[in-house]
């Protein structure tokens, strides 16, 4: 992985969902995890475009599961963070936390 800037908000969200899901991180599950935790609906196109870009950058890797009859003979594609992906995820989250630290409360809630 080359030198990358911090990740964007949606990329951080996708990577966090992958981390929450562990070995069960495949497209539909990632989408459902984001909707459940962040209250954000994700289109299949947006998710797979982001996953493809993250894989091209060496931030995530993928593996194919077994094809199943329940999926019409298709296999699930599972995703996980690479070592560099973990590093960049943590760096990006820390940068966001640093930006939020010390901000005044908004609507009675501290942001960081």
Tell whether the torsion through CA atoms of 42, 43, 46 and 49 is positive or negative. Answer: positive
Tell me if 44 is assigned to some domain: yes
Tell me if 3 is assigned to some domain: no
Tell me if 54 is assigned to some domain: yes
Tell me if 110 is assigned to some domain: no
Q: SS3 for 60?
A: strand
Tell me if 112 is assigned to some domain: no
pLDDT in tens, 59-105: 999 999 888 777 777 889 999 999 999 999 999 999 988 988 888 77
Question: pTM of the predicted model, to two decimals?
Answer: 0.85
Domain with 43, as residue range(s), is 9-100
CATH at residue 87? 1.10.10.10
Residue 66 is predicted with a pLDDT of: 84
Counted domains in the chain: 1
pLDDT, greater one: 102 or 16:
16
Tell me if 83 is assigned to some domain: yes
Could you tell me which of 44, 45, 51 has the C-alpha nearest to residue 13? 51
CB 9 within 8 A of CB 33: no
Tell me if 15 is assigned to some domain: yes
Q: Is the pLDDT of residue 1 over 60?
A: no
């Amino acid at each position: 992985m080359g030198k990358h800037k911090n990740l964007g908000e949606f990329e951080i969200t996708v990577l966090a969902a992958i981390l929450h899901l562990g070995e069960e991180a495949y497209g539909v599950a990632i989408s459902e995890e984001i909707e459940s935790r962040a209250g954000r609906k994700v289109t299949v196109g947006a998710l797979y475009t982001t996953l493809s870009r993250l894989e091209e950058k060496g931030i995530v890797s993928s593996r194919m599961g077994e094809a199943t009859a329940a999926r019409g003979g298709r296999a699930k594609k599972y995703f996980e963070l690479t070592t560099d992906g973990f590093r960049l995820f943590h760096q990006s989250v820390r940068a966001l936390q640093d930006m939020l630290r010390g901000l005044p409360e908004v609507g009675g809630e501290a942001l960081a």
